[in-house]
Amino acid sequence: METLHEWDRLHQIHPWAAMDDYQGYDNMFVDTADGIYLWDGNGKRFIDGPGGMWCVQIGYGRDEMADAIAQQVKKLPYTSPFTNTTEPSAILSKRLAEMAPGDLNNVFFTTGGSTAVDTALRTMHFMNNRLGRHDKKIVIAREKGYHGSTYLAHSVTGKERDKNRFDVESRLVRFLPDVNPYRRPDGMSVEEWCDEKVADLEKMIAEVGPENVGAFIAEPILSSGGVIVPPPGYHKRTFDICREHDILYISDEVVTGFGRLGHWFCSEEVFGIQPDMITCAKGLTSGYLPLGACIISDRVMERCASPDDPALFSNGYTYSAHPVSCVAALTNIEIMERENILEHVREITPYFQERLRALKKFPIVGDARGMGLLGCIEGKGKTLEEERELGNMIDAACEELGLLVRPLINMAVFSPPLVITRAQIDEMFDLLEKALEKVTRDLA
């Protein structure tokens, strides 16, 4: 294993590599997995708290997935989506159109979440060019939002840029301030906070001019930003404002899609909106293979269409609609339906959230929040320095005990496989409590 680590250190660049010593850090070596558990190279078992990267909905080790993938590889591993189509991609597009709300009937397959977001933004540009609205291109996004790692998706990402040395296309985007109710000033009610956040959007549109704003992009829950659940009513009100100004509403459901909140998509079922576009990836295949999709409304497609002009929708990838990935998605959906996984998430959520919120009893926990099977604990330190270290300290204490979480500055987030049972939720939170006790002791 030491040799593997050495090769890895010397030759592999990992996402978000720390550049102070880019060959100096070892990533955890993961060897095998089953259900909600992973094993490292030394045979130590861990609960996979982050569910891969918010994606392993059906859990690991599914023979049915392996068989379906193998069969498609033997039958047809690849064909060009530019000129051909396949049975799995045609069936999957119909299934996604049925699952998505309202008139979101048009599916553009991508290679993951970033390329789905890229596609959504480019579609807005395409549409407004078609309509002759050449200035209506600016995207309103939000601080702490994460939308991916292509140039365009990164440009609309509002996470702290203090350690970022990549360029962004700043002419294209404006950011609204943090919507986290935990950050509201003392004495302000959540309702007043919501009014203020909605007013932020109205002000921004007025400032930029509605004729220049093409889209508003929002995650239903800002996941990588720290599982920020916006105040009740926020999404519906911001959606109505976008409609009023003919600004496209892009709901980035890369994390929340495919059951995380107990529904295929949550935009309509949980938040009461029918966006113009939904982006999804991750849970679409439960992480077994890469695939993403941008699901576009009929209304947008009709405005993109140009029967009078031979323009092309020149967006796409060699691996768009990859037939093997589409089979993985169809098998994933079949398993989720057969095992009633959406119902399971809805049933188990109150218990998961109850155990999560109980962590507020620790003085080092400032906030414990979430929705569905998404959770975050936000640490509170005596000093800013201490607070910034809390995510890493909680992560290290959990890892020692056999639980993986994802540290984010002063936070730890988790989104376990959706098949987690009540007993496994207890196992996970019992370990978290032990870890928090240890960190409390270490800081004393």
Interface of this chain with ligand PLP, residues 279 to 318, rule: CB under 6 A: 281, 292
Considering only 112, 214, 226, 379, the residue that binds ligand PLP (CB under 6 A) is: 112
How far apart, in whole angstroms, are the C-alpha atoms of residue 439 and residue 444? 9
Is residue 110 a contact residue for ligand PLP (CB under 6 A)?
A: no
Lay out the sheet containing 104-110: strands in order across.
Answer: 104-110, 292-297, 277-280, 248-252, 213-218, 138-142, 173-176
Q: Least distance from C-beta 244 to ligand PLP, angstroms?
A: 25
263 touches 270 (CB < 8 A): yes
Find the binding residues for ligand PLP in span 239-268 (CB under 6 A): 252, 254-255
> Which of 227, 356 has the CB closer to ligand PLP?
227
For 176, 310, 317, 399, the CA distances from 305, given in Å and listed in that order, are 32, 10, 21, 52
Gap between the Cα atoms of 341 and 243, Å rounded: 34
Residues from 9 through 48 that contact ligand PLP (CB under 6 A): none
Using rule CB under 6 A, residue 120 touches ligand PLP: no
Helix and strand element counts for the chain (H, E): 13, 15
Name which of 256, 253, 251, 219 is nearest 145 in CA terms. 219
Cβ proximity to ligand PLP: between 53 and 99 the closer is: 53
How many amino acids of this chain bind ligand PLP (CB under 6 A)?
17
What is the pattern of x (binds ligand PLP, CB under 6 A) and - over residues 410-429?
Answer: --------------------
For ligand PLP, the binding residues in 169-228 under the rule CB under 6 A are 219, 223-224
Of the candidates 363, 348, 367, the one whose C-alpha atom is nearest the C-alpha of residue 428 is 348
Q: Give the shortest CB-295-to-ligand PLP separation in angstroms.
A: 14
Q: How far is the CB of 254 from ligand PLP (least distance, A)?
A: 3
HEC assignment per residue over 302-328 = HHHCCCCCCCCCCCCCCCCCCHHHHHH
Measured from the CB atom, the residue of 221 and 345 that comes closer to ligand PLP is: 221
CB of 201 to ligand PLP, least distance (A): 19
Binder among 146, 239, 271, 362 for ligand PLP (CB under 6 A): 146
Angle between helices 323-338 and 87-99 (to 10 degrees): 50
Residues in contact with ligand PLP by the rule CB under 6 A: 53, 112-114, 117, 146-149, 219, 223-224, 252, 254-255, 281, 292
